[in-house]
Amino acid sequence: MTLRTKLLATTSAVLIATTGALYADGHATHPETGEVLASDQSFTYRDLDESPSIDPGMAEDSAGGDIVRDLFEGLYNQDASGSLAPGVALSHTVSDDNLTYTFTLRDNAKWSNGDTVTAGDFEYAWKRAASPELASPYSWFLEIMALENASEVIAGDLDPSELGVTAIDDTTLEVRLSQPLPYFPLMLTHYTTFPVPQATIEEHGTDWTKPGNMVSNGAYVLTEHVPQERLVRERNEMYWDNENTIIEKVTSLVINDENVALTRYLAGELDRTHVPAGQFPRLSAEFPDQAVSVPEACSYYYMFNLRDGASEDVQDVNVRRALSLAVDRDIIVENVLAGGQKPAYTFTHWATAGFETPDIPKASMTQAERNEMAVELMTEAGYGPDNPLEIDLVYNTSDSHKSVAVAISQMWKQTLGVETVLANQEWQTFLEARNNGDFEVARGGWCADYNEASTFLDLMQSESGYNDSKFVNAEVDALMEEAKTSNNAQANYDRVEEIIAEEAPIIPIYHYASVYMYNENLEGWPFENFQQQWYSKDLYKIAE
């Protein structure tokens, strides 16, 4: 017996002992599909880094969100396709003016210490998240939810008790909005809106998130947490739907290096890990059942600095269009990244719900035609072999950003004779440079907050805080303003994308894909969910 199998044998023995006889015989079957379940129902996956917080009110990154969604349950969950599924709330009614929501909560939802989850827990959690005292970095989420008085509470002008949320009784929660928001219920699947246990927080202070202290209402409870190493959560016997939970134990391991993570995946230590850039074709040929690529709600682009006083070179629209045309997206997507990403000619991700990618002329040209046009535009702008353009390109430190930048700088050089000076900046320096307009061309990436095209296109508004190009266009502003209240905004979005293509404030490069290796016995992963919101309670492992 090798050391490793010995170890595995011991762990599974322990598992069987602790989980009782239900799945130990290995012949248990899935209640719906009837598949034979594996005896070992533990799920181990890789996280890139330690999450800043696992307190629902304080959490701020998507990896932390994955953990919080297992430990806590909000009013609603997302199902495999991204639609609403009941959580603690069973249903809701909306007032005629679309400003007041009344939620009916289930009466059998329990905290892990046996207490009932009440509407009051939600009221407490939301007021806590908004309070200046907690100073949550995600308190702004309550503002974009259009919660009544949220901005005033966060700014400290009103007491948190004035927030537009009230527990009418234990199972009825009333929420008041300051403006109608059609996708409001979907936002309730976000961790900032999850309930937190008041008694526990008051007893332990910031230490309440440590294992042993934490009381939670999700399908799992926290049993072990070693920052930068591992976080373990196990079945919550008190969870209202406990009998349908199949995975017994979920472990997230922090492994910084993706190649190390892949090695450990191949050695059988992990059930899910990221595929390093460029390795997808090889891995999917070798492990067709394990390497999976699905669209991910983010766009990758380069932005030009259009501020007054920025470099004159990129103020010329011909230069910007030429640089955009000369980027061979197919090479970036197929050769550099090779993970199922799609070439981007529009800013909005192609898979965004209800969005039809408009016909952008350059999208249907061949690269040779694009290059030819790019050379013409450059000549028109007054640049040529004897007067080459020099461009500074900044990106943040990362192997794949580097590969993309190296490839694009060479495309510009080989097609247009443009000399590119690459500057790789460490993350915080990069953010500051981009924010202050201290760049000529900079990398950008944007991920959807919700599944609708405006989450991308809002960035092009003159006043948007995220418009780092400082692109100003009155028509775009008007179109986006109109889109907010319009029933069918597709025409507006088409026009905005056309303007982006004509004015080229940014170069859309590709639309992300989420590329992972999954244990072939792992089932129930919500690949269809565009925002990749997954819940361990929906997963299960089948017997080999």
Return the residues of window 476-505 that contact other proteins according to CB under 8 A.
Answer: none
Which region, judged by CB under 8 A, interacts with other proteins, from 162-170, 334-342, 485-493, 510-518? 334-342
Q: Rounded to whole angstroms, how far apart are CA atoms 100 and 370?
A: 52
Paired tokens of 73: 């349950």
Could you tell me the smallest distance in angstroms from the CB atom of residue 139 to other proteins?
5
Query: Residues 274, 433, 134, 173: what is their CA dihedral angle, to the nearest 10 degrees?
Result: -70
User: Please, are residues 298 and 445 in contact by the beta-carbon 8 Å criterion?
Assistant: yes
- Indicate the pairing of strand 419-425 with strand 441-447: unpaired
Of 282, 353, 379, 475, the one binding other proteins by CB under 8 A? 282
Nearer to other proteins, 11 or 95 (CB): 11
- Smallest distance from the beta carbon of 403 to other proteins, in angstroms? 5
Q: Does 228 bind other proteins (CB under 8 A)?
A: yes
Amino acid at 344: A
Question: Is position 30 an interface residue for other proteins (rule: CB under 8 A)?
Answer: no
Is 437 an interacting residue with respect to other proteins (CB under 8 A)? no
| b/e burial code for range 438-448 (CB count within 10 A of at least 16 → b) | bbbbbbbebeb
Q: Which of 10, 242, 410, 462 binds other proteins (CB under 8 A)?
A: 410
Q: Return d(Cα 484, Cα 464) in angstroms, integer.
A: 15
Cα 254 from Cα 4, distance rounded (Å): 20
Q: Which is nearer to other proteins, 173 or 404 (CB)?
A: 404
Joined tokens for residue 165: 């949320």
Residue among 315 and 464 whose Cβ is closer to other proteins? 464
| Contact predicate 223/211, CB 8 Å | yes
Q: Is 49 in the site for other proteins (CB under 8 A)?
A: yes
Give 6 or 484: the residue with its C-beta nearer to other proteins.
Answer: 6
**Sign of the CA dihedral running 80, 82, 88, 94:** negative
CA distance to 237, 504, 506, per residue, from 481 (Å): 49, 21, 21
| Beta carbon nearer to other proteins, 119 or 509 | 509
The reply to whether 10 sits near other proteins by the rule CB under 8 A is no
Residue 162 is a binding residue for other proteins (CB under 8 A): no
Beta strands at 441-447 and 390-396: parallel, antiparallel or unpaired: parallel
Report whether 19 contacts 245 (CB < 8 A). Answer: no
Are 482 and 273 in contact by the 8 Å Cβ rule? The answer is: no
- The SS3 assignment for 384 reads strand
Name the segment binding other proteins (CB under 8 A); options: 73-81, 227-235, 302-310, 313-321.
Answer: 227-235
Closest alpha carbon to 538 in 45, 201, 77: 77
Q: Which stretch binds other proteins (CB under 8 A): 109-117, 139-147, 313-321, 351-359?
A: 139-147
Q: Contact between 217 and other proteins (CB under 8 A)?
A: no
| C-beta closer to other proteins: residue 214 or 507 | 214
If one asks whether residue 509 binds other proteins (CB under 8 A), the answer comes out as no
Which of 116, 166, 198, 424 binds other proteins (CB under 8 A)? It is: 424
When asked if residue 390 is in the footprint of other proteins (CB under 8 A), the reply is no
Among 132, 212, 361, 382, indicate the residue that binds other proteins (CB under 8 A): 132
What is the rounded CA–CA span in Å between residue 472 and residue 503? Answer: 10
Q: Do residues 501 and 333 make contact, with C-beta atoms less than 8 angstroms apart?
A: no
12 binds other proteins (CB under 8 A): no
Which residues partner with 303 through β-bridges?
442, 506
Contact flag: residue 407 with other proteins (CB under 8 A): yes
Q: CB-wise, 77 or 251, nearer to other proteins? A: 251
Choice between 55 and 66, CB closer to other proteins? 55
154 in contact with other proteins (CB under 8 A): yes
Phi (first) and psi of residue 288, to 5 degrees: -60, -25
State which H helix or E strand residue 443 sits in. strand 441-447
**Residues contacting other proteins: total by CB under 8 A:** 84
As measured in angstroms, the least distance from the Cβ of 24 to other proteins is 24
Q: Taking CB under 8 A as the rule, does residue 406 contact other proteins?
A: yes
Q: Is there binding between residue 159 and other proteins (CB under 8 A)?
A: no
| Subset of 239-268 contacting other proteins (CB under 8 A) | 253-257, 259-260, 262-264, 266-267
